[in-house]
Amino acid sequence: MILVVGATAFFGRQAVETLAARGVAVRALTRNPDAAGLPAGVDVVKADLTEPESLDPALEGVTAVLLVLPFGMDAGALLERARGRKIVVLSSGAIEDDEAGQPDVIAAYHHDLERAVAEVTPQWTALRILFPAINTLSFGHQMAHGDVVRVPYPGASSTAVHELDVAEAAAAVLTGDGHAGRVYTLTGPAALTQEDQVSVLAEALARPLRTEAADPAAVLDQLSMFMDRDFAGALLGLLGRAEREPAPLTSTVEDLTGHPARPYAEWVRANLPAFSSN
């Protein structure tokens, strides 16, 4: 039995669906089973990471765990109870392994999470992603008001990864051997700037979309209205570095899944309704 923690969150839900479609016994941990909306055959259990006593029934019979956690969540109680099992953790490509410290709060949190997982089991694997394609849904909010998409770093380059590739890579690690103690960085198949991504959207939607540079300080103030300012600053910092440095590109998705990583244009086609309604 594989337990997915964060099973109704993004990436967690896709992993549950991928495992279930392959006939793998999968259990979904959620605080609200009635609203989970997961495939038939999935064992949906009610539990909460902040209520340690609720975790023991969820872990009964479980041999492997996938952790998909919101930023800042403390998984200590779960990790202690899952000690010795295979644990795959969805982590961040912002981590810098060769540095004494981490560059931002996002990297620091995930670095500490990876270390915490490694301390409770030798059967740990980290899947790191930096720029998921889902992040570009933020363009849609602006597109509702016109054809100009204002971004703080139009030239920031990323290898945006499709959520289905992440889910399939996770399934391969959870059900396969030879992954203990490994760190995998998952990317899409090519580097695109934010301007390039908007161009892909423009072609798919047949709209004359264009990008304009936004003041990063103003964007930080806007983001800080609905998220932690340090977290928002870390996100902008990642984009700033992506404008100055080459985007990481790996073959890991293909190595793990047996097929090439899905291109950004394919992700756009699959998510057109989210942009077409704007």
Q: In angstroms, rounded to a whole number, what is the distance separating the alpha carbons of residues 190 and 204?
A: 18
Residue 271 neighbours by CB under 8 Å, 6+ apart: 137
**Residue 102's pLDDT band (cuts 50, 70, 90):** confident
Q: Closest Cα partner for 243 from 202, 266, 222, 213?
A: 213
Strands 157-158, 210-213: pairing is: unpaired
Give the DSSP H/E element, type plus range, for residue 76. Answer: helix 76-81
pTM assigned to the model: 0.94
Burial category of 72 from C-beta neighbours within 10 Å (exposed 0-12, middle 13-18, buried 19 and up) = exposed
**CATH of region 2-130+162-186+248-258:** 3.40.50.720
Quick one: CA torsion of 213, 218, 221, 222, rounded to 10 degrees? -50
Domain map of the chain by residue range? 2-130+162-186+248-258
Q: pLDDT per residue over 238-261, tens digit each?
A: 999 999 988 899 999 999 999 999
Q: How far is CA 112 from CA 77, 90, 115, in A?
A: 15, 13, 5
Q: Mean pLDDT over residues 117-121, rounded?
A: 97
Q: Closest Cα partner for 126 from 267, 254, 256?
A: 256
Give the DSSP H/E element, type plus range, for residue 115. Answer: helix 105-120
Average pLDDT over the chain reads: 94
